[in-house]
Amino acid sequence: MRGNMIQLGYYALWGALGSAAFALVFSVLAFRGGREDLQTSARHATWAAAFFTTVACAGIVYAFLMGDYQMEYVWGNSDRDMPTFYKLGALWGGQSGSLLFWGWLLSMYTALVGLRHRKDHVRLMAPTTTTLMSVLVFFLALVLFGTNPFRRADFIPPDGVGLNPLLQHPAMVIHPPCLYLGMIGFTVPFAFAVGALVSGRLDNDWLKKARLWAVVAWLFLGAGNILGGWWAYLELGWGGYWAWDPVENASFMPWLAGTAYIHSAMIQERKQMLKIWNMVLILSTFVLTVMGTFITRSGLISSVHSFAQSNIGYYFAGFLLASIVVSLGLIIWRRNELKSQQHLDSYLSRESAFLFGNLILLGGAFAVLWGTLFPMFTEAIKGNRISLGPPFFNQFMIPVGLGILFLMGVGPLIPWRRASWSGLSKVFTVPAGLLLAAVAVLLIFGVTHAYALVTFGFCAFVTGTIFTEFKQGIQARMRSQGENPIAAFFRLFTKGQRRYGGYIVHLGVVIIFIGFAGAAFTQESETTLGRGETWHFRNYALTYRGLAVEQTPSVERISADVLLAKNDHNVAVMKPRKDWYQKNQQLASEVAIHATLGADLYLILASFDEKADRASLKLYWNPLVSWYWIGGLVMVLGGILVLLPLRRRQLT
Amino acid sequence: MTTEFHPTSSPRAAGRDVATARVPGQTLPDAGAFLIPGRVGAWRGLTPRRYVWMLSLVLMFALALTQSSVRADQPADIGQLEKELMNPCENCGGKPLAGSYCGGASAAKEELREMADAGMSHDQIINAFVAKYGEWILAVPERSGFNLFAWILPVVGMVLGGGGLALFLKRTNEARRLSAPVPAPAGPGPTSPESGTGAASGAKDMAELRRRLECEVRED
């Protein structure tokens, strides 16, 4: 019985490949004949593919729950002692499972696209479906022929090897699906772009249809990145949340390009220009998502995340090349139809502010890409290994981040088409005043770190811009609708949902930058304490009160008991820990964090001596880290505000 | 964007690299006039107030770029060295030594500590590590030879992108002037008034902005 269920999953994988291929062929035929009926068949086939991939994933999950260790994938990524929660997450814990998971999410996206756009024009939807199905066929073929997760050993091992203990963390169960939903989600706007190119329906139609999907993907990708940082902060124990690791970079680059696309698309929607540019942007975003998977999954660049090395790298390289060649070919083929119908009126306008934003975002993405790939190039060309660590990326990305932050303050207030200097100096009175005030106050309080000063100043500037926008919107409603300010504030979100939701996203980014600026003031220290000894650090006092050992069948946990006092008041008991995973022969650190809005106290048990009852502690004082998480939450909230169907509800 | 600022350690030449990338986008009067011929007039009415705006802007950017400094050899600072050196452990490498706690990292840290205790300077320790492990032990490689491409290409990319953007702005501006009489069809609401540089047109802009905003947020 058990074997049958799992076998069913394997057959479902073939079913999914068959359905996807069917949908691909039928959507091509539907396009050629302009036939609604064939497109309907193709759409039904995409739903069948979604059903089959679901069954396939269920088969794997079932195998994990049943502990079918004869299946190599289950054997390699779980063991008996693993909690059920992590067994579910083990589906995407290794290479072949995560590729299948990728295929499943893509098929679900496609099914939803079919559902939402079932009444839309066949000429646009057919090639869009073809594109989505081509990507799905590639991934399913990769799973079946490259890294089959259903492969069985010819003997039955008693137990699995387990999942890397570092990955056994709640954030690690939520963060990859979130990231994948973002990465894969960008396939949908890309598919719409290809659909528009193939069909020649190059008006705003495709852009509007793609918009929802692009924002959804962008939101998941952003949230996934922040969740990944949260995991690193809690689990990796080096006191930070972002290390410019190749895998982090892989998911950050498409986010940058996607941000550029979402903003640039607004110009096209409004002004019928930048059509070629937007095509290039969405193509770049898609290529960067596939590249991200490639980097993560092929073992091209070794890092803690890239657990696997296999030959799928060549398939990915081929697929990447094909995507680029075909899309660029289409863009060149349609270049005359993509010519702008309008011109930019002035370099002093919102359009050009957006364009400079594009430039900085893409420049940043390029710097990250180059920095990620450069060590590999060096090794290939010169034969010697080099490393490019965080200092390299910070050099480029701090100015890039500041540039973007600044433009976030400029873009919303500068008028479309053309601005005048005198108009601008009026509009920007509040933001610029706040900027100068913030910098002045910080200087008075003795903050002299240049980057931090600029960051805080720009944060004040952008906040001023957002405030001005809300103030003007509220005043406009008060005048035209006679509403009170509070009602007007809430009604802004139903009336100008994208605009004001977008400002909430911007506000989230401002809060995130405050968190970044805090990193400039991080302090670290370490010491070794005997029982009862107290360590004074800033206005904190840490008293070591002994070791505690907890033994479970699979893990031995050794924690130090540290009493934390702040300004002579006891505030917390911190228990930094070392976990020894017997089966993996791996030692993992569990940090203890005392988080406040002002600063985190981040404590690591570096080493210990049970006989002498001494513990070596490493401590980071991380100011404003909480703001990073809060900013992420605000950003997601703003994104949800943009997406919620507020207006429709109002009509009914 | 980042978690680590390295005020003391790093960007020896970084500020300079970035500076070259940034100049075209800067709101310097000459650059603007150079990029967009025919817009020189926009700079004529440089009142004291506008001057202060611009000055504060330029100051902010300049402040951001003053981060570079050339350091002389210093006594060893363990925390600093741990950031400048990568974890030599083959299994869990790819991260700086600071914040790595595996066996390989601990051994390397111990080695570092012994060197520092023996009185070796910062640069001597760095050189000893490079001699032992190879160039890749440095979190950021020597800024010379082929490695320079790592820094040059992003800057070149930004400059080319900025140049491309400037060219696009210039071209579209010329095209607009040639086809000026044709009224622009799209965009919600009427086109904004042609604005000059005087205070009157600024007030007109504001009134127009306010009117349009009211259209946008009004109940239909």
**Confidence (pLDDT) at A528:** 92
Test the B interface: residue of A164, A347, A442, A591 with most B CBs within 10 Å: A347
How sure is the predictor about A647, in pLDDT bands with cuts at 50, 70 and 90? low
For chain B, what is the radius of gyration of the CA atoms? 27
Test the B interface: residue of A343, A377, A526 with most B CBs within 10 Å: A343
Distance CA A140, CA A149 (A): 11
Q: Is the pLDDT of residue A167 over 50?
A: yes
**Confidence (pLDDT) at B167:** 81
Q: Residue B10 — φ and ψ, nearest 5°?
A: -90, -80
Higher pLDDT, A585 or A222: A222
Q: Which residue of B has its CA nearest to A481?
A: B218
Mention every residue, 6+ apart, whose C-beta is less than 8 A from residue B190.
none
**Confidence (pLDDT) at A112:** 95
Tell me which CATH code domain B78-142 carries. 1.10.8
Higher pLDDT, A584 or A382: A382
Distance CA B146, CA A556 (A): 48
> In the 8-state DSSP scheme, what is residue A557?
E
Q: Which residues of A touch B168 (CB under 8 A)?
A: 344, 355
Q: State chain A's mean pLDDT as an integer.
A: 88
Q: Is the pLDDT of residue A551 over 70?
A: yes
Q: Which residues of B touch A487 (CB under 8 A)?
A: none
**Confidence (pLDDT) at A307:** 39
How sure is the predictor about A293, in pLDDT bands with cuts at 50, 70 and 90? confident
Q: Is the pLDDT of residue A151 over 90?
A: no
**Confidence (pLDDT) at B186:** 40
Q: Which residue of A has its CA nearest to B176?
A: A343
Residue A19 maps to a domain: yes
Q: Which H/E stretch holds residue A566?
A: strand A555-566
Clarify whether residues A534 and A613 are in a common domain. Answer: yes
Q: Which H/E stretch holds residue A571?
A: strand A569-574
Could you tell me what percent of chain A has a pLDDT over 90? Answer: 53
Verify whether the Cβ–Cβ distance B99 to A391 is below 8 Å: no
Clarify whether residues A377 and A417 are in a common domain. Answer: no
Q: What is the CATH number of the domain that holds A85?
A: 1.20.120
- H, E, C per residue of A43-108: HHHHHHHHHHHHHHHHHHHHHHHHCCCCEHHHHHHCCCCCCHHHHHHHHHCCHHHHHHHHHHHHHH
Mention every residue, 6+ apart, whose C-beta is less than 8 A from residue B147.
A378, A386, B141
Distance CA B105, CA B87 (A): 6
User: Which of A376-385, A439-448, A638-647 is predicted least confidently?
Assistant: A376-385
How sure is the predictor about A235, in pLDDT bands with cuts at 50, 70 and 90? confident
Clarify whether residues A594 and A536 are in a common domain. Answer: yes
User: Which of A162-171, A195-204, B120-129 is predicted least confidently?
Assistant: A162-171
Clarify whether residues A550 and A620 are in a common domain. Answer: yes
pLDDT single digits (tens) A62-72: 999 888 888 88
**Mind telling me how many Å the CA of A210 is from chain B's nearest CA?**
20
Q: Which of B66, B92, B210 shows the shortest C-beta gap to A450? A: B66
**Confidence (pLDDT) at B13:** 38
Residue A649 identity: R
Q: Is the pLDDT of residue A142 over 80?
A: yes
Residue whose token pair is 């404003």: A624
Residue A489 maps to a domain: yes
Count of domains in chain A? 4
Contacts 24+ apart (CB under 8 A), B193-199: B194/A418, B195/A418, B195/A419, B195/A420, B195/A423, B196/A420, B197/A420, B197/A421, B197/A422, B197/B41, B197/B42, B197/B44, B197/B45, B198/A422, B198/B45, B199/A422
User: Which of A152-156, A198-202, A485-489, B23-27 is predicted least confidently?
Assistant: B23-27
Give mean pLDDT, residues A325-348.
Answer: 85
Verify whether the Cβ–Cβ distance B95 to A370 is below 8 Å: no
Higher pLDDT, B194 or A286: A286
Clarify whether residues A515 and A574 are in a common domain. Answer: no
Residue A529 maps to a domain: yes
Q: Is the pLDDT of residue A569 over 60?
A: yes
**Confidence (pLDDT) at B201:** 55
Tell which A residues from 267 to 296 touch B, by Cβ distance under 8 Å: 270-272
Distance CA B88, CA A177 (A): 32
Could you tell me what percent of chain A has a pLDDT over 70? Answer: 96
Verify whether the Cβ–Cβ distance A359 to B56 is below 8 Å: no
Residue A390 maps to a domain: no
User: Which of A3-7, A134-138, A611-615, B35-39 is predicted least confidently?
Assistant: B35-39
**Confidence (pLDDT) at A25:** 95
Q: Is the pLDDT of residue A651 over 50?
A: no
Verify whether the Cβ–Cβ distance B5 to A451 is below 8 Å: yes
Clarify whether residues A497 and A612 are in a common domain. Answer: no
Residue A636 identity: V
> Of A279-283, A446-450, B57-61, B169-173, where does the model show the most confidence?
A279-283
Residue A515 maps to a domain: yes
Give mean pLDDT, residues A403-409.
Answer: 94
Residue A89 maps to a domain: yes
Clarify whether residues A502 and A540 are in a common domain. Answer: no
**Chain B within 8 Å of A351 (Cβ-Cβ)?**
no
How sure is the predictor about A470, in pLDDT bands with cuts at 50, 70 and 90? very high
Write the DSSP string, A416-460. Answer: SS---HHHHHHHTHHHHHHHHHHHHHHHHTT---HHHHHHHHHHH
pLDDT single digits (tens) A471-500: 988 988 888 888 888 888 888 888 888 889
* Domain residue ranges in chain B: 1-71, 78-142
Mention every residue, 6+ apart, whose C-beta is less than 8 A from residue A172.
A89, A166, A231, A235
Clarify whether residues A514 and A533 are in a common domain. Answer: no
Give mean pLDDT, residues A233-241.
Answer: 83
Residue A462 maps to a domain: yes
Clarify whether residues A469 and A451 are in a common domain. Answer: yes
Domain boundary among A162, A193, A212: A162
Q: A92, A224 in Cβ contact below 8 A?
A: no
pLDDT single digits (tens) A34-51: 898 999 999 999 999 999
Q: A509, A635 in Cβ contact below 8 A?
A: yes
Q: Which residues of A touch B10 (CB under 8 A)?
A: 391, 394-395
Verify whether the Cβ–Cβ distance B36 to A347 is below 8 Å: yes
**Confidence (pLDDT) at B39:** 43
* Vertex A297 angle, CA A294 and A301, to 5°: 75
Q: A579, A165 in Cβ contact below 8 A?
A: yes
Verify whether the Cβ–Cβ distance A417 to B187 is below 8 Å: yes
Residue A345 maps to a domain: no
Verify whether the Cβ–Cβ distance A425 to B49 is below 8 Å: yes
Tell which A residues from 366 to 385 touch B, by Cβ distance under 8 Å: 366-367, 370-371, 374-375, 378, 381-382, 384-385
Write the DSSP string, A595-634. Answer: E-SSEEEEEEEEEEETTTTEEEEEEEEEETHHHHHHHHHH
**Confidence (pLDDT) at A227:** 93
**Chain B within 8 Å of A494 (Cβ-Cβ)?**
no
Note down pLDDT in tens along chain B; length 220 residues.
Answer: 334 444 433 333 333 333 333 344 434 343 333 334 344 434 444 556 666 666 666 666 555 544 444 456 777 788 888 888 888 876 666 678 876 767 778 888 888 888 888 888 888 888 898 898 888 888 888 877 788 888 888 888 888 888 888 888 777 777 766 665 544 444 333 333 333 344 455 566 667 767 777 777 665 5
**Mind telling me how many Å the CA of B11 is from chain A's nearest CA?**
7
**Confidence (pLDDT) at B8:** 39
Verify whether the Cβ–Cβ distance A418 to B150 is below 8 Å: no
**Mind telling me how many Å the CA of B94 is from chain A's nearest CA?**
6
Higher pLDDT, B66 or A245: A245
**Confidence (pLDDT) at B162:** 83
Higher pLDDT, B13 or A162: A162
Higher pLDDT, B25 or A443: A443
Q: Which residue of B has its CA nearest to A406?
A: B57
> Of A108-112, A389-393, A415-419, B57-61, where does the model show the most confidence?
A108-112
Q: What domain range includes position A511?
A: 397-520+639-651
Q: Is the pLDDT of residue A306 over 90?
A: no
Verify whether the Cβ–Cβ distance B64 to A397 is below 8 Å: no
**Confidence (pLDDT) at A282:** 95
Clarify whether residues A450 and A534 are in a common domain. Answer: no
ipTM: 0.80
**Confidence (pLDDT) at B63:** 55
Q: Which of A352, A367, A392 shows the shortest C-beta gap to B140? A: A392
Verify whether the Cβ–Cβ distance A606 to B101 is below 8 Å: yes
Tell which A residues from 190 to 249 touch B, by Cβ distance under 8 Å: 236-243, 245-246
Q: Which residues of A touch B45 (CB under 8 A)?
A: 421-422
Clarify whether residues A169 and A158 are in a common domain. Answer: no
Tell which A residues from 464 to 493 touch B, by Cβ distance under 8 Å: 472-473, 476-477, 479-481, 491-492
Clarify whether residues A23 and A101 are in a common domain. Answer: yes
